Amino acid sequence: MNRFSENNVYNTGKVGVIEVICGSMFSGKTEELIRRMKRAQFARQKVEIFKPAMDVRYSVDQVVSHDQNAIPSTSVESSGNILLLSGDIDVVGIDEAQFFDEGLVAVCNQLSNQGIRVIVAGLDMDFKGKPFGPMPALCAIADDVTKVHAICVECGRLAGFSHRLIQNDKLVLLGEKEEYQPLCRECYNRYNR
């Protein structure tokens, strides 16, 4: 259970907080983001969820999990657009944060300093096993970090790595099960020797 998002009731006025959900592909990051956002909606909080405009895998105007759970969203070109579009909001959700520019860190800080709960989901590492985009900095400034894991498709252990199945050195390559698979550290290292 997350200390900030699940157990505290913010009844002493607006208290901003940054929550980060990170992990490999197929670990349930977006599923957890959608769950938290729907709980906030149920509590009659004003919510807005953002995703990078480049992410059109399932929908242009929804954040959709691999399990096809969905929530309406706004696609934006850059992190600065989030500030422009998040007036009078209690909870801001941000999916696929690794694809945003480094300005996302300042945006999340500013929103939380204004008393907004900010929930960010994204890959913590790229397919090369390196920290991805603004995610390391977001983890550093977060009030709460939830690391979720997939299951290694090779051995069944917890998986923290997104192994790319196709030959392509491009850092950003949107994909699904045909392009990526979750692996544990040992299996990932075996594939990438």
Distance CA 127, CA 66 (A): 18
Is 175 among the domain residues? no
- Domain span including residue 18: 3-149
Give me the active site residues, please.
96
Instruction: Give the confidence band of 142 by pLDDT, cuts at 50, 70, 90.
Output: very high
pLDDT at 178: 66
Distance CA 182, CA 169 (A): 18
Poorest-pLDDT segment among 26-35, 143-152, 161-170: 161-170
pLDDT at 11: 45
Is 41 among the domain residues? yes
Average pLDDT over residues 138-147: 98
Is 181 among the domain residues? no
Q: Is the pLDDT of residue 179 over 90?
A: no
Average pLDDT over residues 54-80: 75
Is 166 among the domain residues? no
Write out pLDDT tens, residues 13-52. Answer: 677 999 999 999 999 999 999 999 999 999 999 999 999 8
Is 173 among the domain residues? no
How many domains would you assign to the chain?
A: 1
pLDDT at 59: 63
Distance CA 73, CA 64 (A): 9
Task: Choose between 92 and 3: higher pLDDT.
Answer: 92
> What's 110's domain CATH number?
3.40.50.300
Is 165 among the domain residues? no
Is 174 among the domain residues? no
Q: Is the pLDDT of residue 193 over 90?
A: no
Is 81 among the domain residues? yes
Write out pLDDT tens, residues 73-132. Answer: 888 999 999 998 888 899 999 999 999 999 999 999 999 999 999 999 999 999 999 999
Q: What are the tokens at 100?
A: 């945003």
